[in-house]
Structure 1
Amino acid sequence: MRLVTLNVWGTRGDWEARLPVFQQGFRELDADVLTLQETILTDDVDQVTAMLGDGYHLAHSSERESDGQGITTASRWPIGEVRELDLNVTGRTGDFACTALVTEVLAPFGTVWVANHFPDYQVDHERERCLQTALVARELEKLPGHVIVAGDLDAEDSADSLRFWTGRHVIDELSVCYRSAWEAIHPDERLETYVEENPHFVDEEWPFRGIDHVLVRCGPRGRPTLPIVDCRRVFDQPGGTPSDHYGLAVDLAEEAR
């Protein structure tokens, strides 16, 4: 199973020039599941279909900003249940379409629950991110089998919200353990997906660099239930960078170790 996550940056910048880069890149990646953030969906614009074509089942968030921006999960395989979780946990979240889509992907080897998680982005909203993360995690704990959390989590590995996902921190008397795909494959290399070297980067002095993640829930022995085979940064090459974020492509095996 190949999963790709990417914040696509809406239709900002030179969208007509960016679109064919997305189209070619997604064809080459040939992902089974994609978690996409900052996707535009209006009566006139279906950005995800424009990028991916017609070969995917789509789950769109209903939580969207005035320009139609939200999140979308795409699956080559059929989709079952879709749950959208309201992440407006404090009065400070009202100016941003923070949300989470939990999608039941009916893969050939069994059900995989994929949480497209898009919490608050503001640098001083780690409290909100922690509350949002705990809310999502509690819902995921109710689900059996394989669970993946992927998206623009707007926090680095050292943040409490990320340390929580990987079993290193407790939030609201809850603890879980997911394996970071990047950490599993690149244990000594810093994750960097939102960096000023990107030609579309517009936020000067932004302190967080490794903010896009793929996390696989661990089983009773502490191993991810879907073994992580590979994790690499994508859409990061000169001439092939259509977003202000770089993405991640993660290959997962079907059999647990």
Structure 2
Amino acid sequence: MTYNLWGMHGEWPARRTVLAAELRCLRPDIAVLQETVVRDAYDQVTDLLGEEYYVVHQQGRTGDGTGASIASRWPVTNVRQHFLHVTSRVNTAEPWIGSVALAEVQAPMPYGRILLVHFKPSWQFHLSYEREVQAHSAARMVEQAVATDAPNHVILAGDFDAAPDSAMIRFWSGRQSLGELSVAYRDVWEDAHGTEGGHTFVPDNPLRVHGGIRFEIGRRIDYIFVRADQWGPTLAVAECSRILDRASDGIWASDHFGVTARLEPPT
């Protein structure tokens, strides 16, 4: 699962009730989460998901404790984190944005070791170049890790803040190269549903206006990908869905919708 929790903004007690009920019902095996809050006496990820997860809170949080996190039912080891502040235009006041984390998840067979890549590029509309450089840098790190550690599978996920036809997403999905590098990852939503729909940031969500985004037309910007080797993706997409994509008793859980996937190893 990938999901942007939108911190503790808005009507947090009401949002918390909706989020906790849905996420504890869903019980994802692996989750990458954005805009998670960690303070001295409070851990938002554990509060919402429960105590049975291995949780990694990534570096580079803002002053109010907001950042990115990984949660897994299986042990998480060998976590490597990198800032991707590639130009002076990247906003370092939000240090967790423009970053990538690589973590090994020790999943049981038939999955085996999974290299989980939590990618969060710059969000601003005009920073397409920065997102491309960030993707290129992150992809090189992943390829080096694959060559060194030989994981069974690589899953890439997060809030990418870019639509499917952008150069960065085209790069990840193997439709174009960037900077003399090409990779190929299967977009699990596209695998399950085709190229239409699946928007995760929409004008109908009233929480969207609190972020200051003007004239939103609706975009699919939250993704789960499976890395392909020369023969194709190493995991099959059995199912992919949006979650928390409508109000519950008038309460919207976040300004984003979440994405979940059920992935199966080849038989």
Q: Into which bin does the TM-score normalised by the smaller protein fall? A: over 0.9
Preserved CA contact (<8 Å) 2:27 2:49: no
Residue of structure 1 in register with 2:263 after alignment: 252
TM-score (normalizing by structure 1): 0.94
The answer to whether the 8 A contact 1:34-1:75 is kept is: yes
- 8 A Cα contact 1:90 1:128, kept in partner: yes
CA distance in 2, matches of 1:238, 1:19: 13
Whether 1:229 and 2:238 are equivalent positions in the alignment is: yes
Match of 1:40 among 9, 14, 37: 37
- Runs of 4+ in structure 1 displaced over 3 angstroms? none
The answer for the alignment partner of 2:219 in structure 1 is 209
2:163 aligned residue: 156
Q: Name the residue aligned to 2:93.
A: 95
Task: Please say if residues 5 and 34 of structure 1, whose CA atoms lie closer than 8 Å, have aligned partners that are also in contact.
Answer: yes
- Report if aligned partners of 1:155, 1:208 keep a CA contact under 8 Å in 2: no
CA displacement 1:196-229 (0-9 Å, x = unmatched):
11232213313561100001001212x2101111
Kindly report which structure 2 residues correspond to 1:101-250, keeping only aligned pairs within 5 A, or say none: 101-109=101-109, 110-142=112-144, 143=146, 144=150, 145-202=152-209, 203-206=213-216, 209-221=219-231, 223-239=232-248, 241-250=252-261
Query: Which residue of structure 2 lines up, in the alignment, with residue 62 of structure 1?
Result: 59
User: Partner letter of residue 129 of structure 1?
Assistant: R
Q: Distance in 2 between matches of 1:12 and 1:149?
A: 27
Q: Which amino acid aligns with 1:237?
A: R
Mapped to 1, the partners of 2:9 and 2:105 lie a distance apart of: 30
Percent identity between the aligned chains? 38
Read off the aligned partner of 1:244 and give its amino acid letter.
D
Is the deviation greater in 109-118 or in 42-51? Answer: 42-51
For residue 141 of structure 2, what is the amino acid of its counterpart?
Answer: E
User: Aligned-pair distance for 1:87?
Assistant: 1.0
Q: CA deviation at 1:19?
A: 0.7
The offset of 1:188, in angstroms, is: 4.3
- Cα 1:161/1:208, change in 2 over 3 Å: farther
Whichever residue aligns with residue 171 of structure 2, its letter is: F
CA deviation digits over 1:159-187, x for unaligned, max 9? Answer: 00000000111111100000000000011
TM-score (norm 2): 0.91
In the TM superposition, residue 32 of structure 1 has moved relative to its aligned partner by 0.1
- Alpha-carbon distance between aligned partners in 2 of 1:162 and 1:96, rounded to the nearest angstrom: 22
Structure 1 residues 79-134: Cα deviation after superposition (integer angstroms, max 9, x where no partner): 11111111111111123222111111000021001111111000000111011111
Where do 5+ consecutive residues of structure 2 fail to align?
none
Instruction: Please report the RMSD computed on the Cα atoms of aligned residues, expressed in angstroms.
Output: 1.3
- 1:41 partner SS: strand
1:17, 1:62 → 2: CA distance? 28
Q: Distance in 2 between matches of 1:16 and 1:175?
A: 45
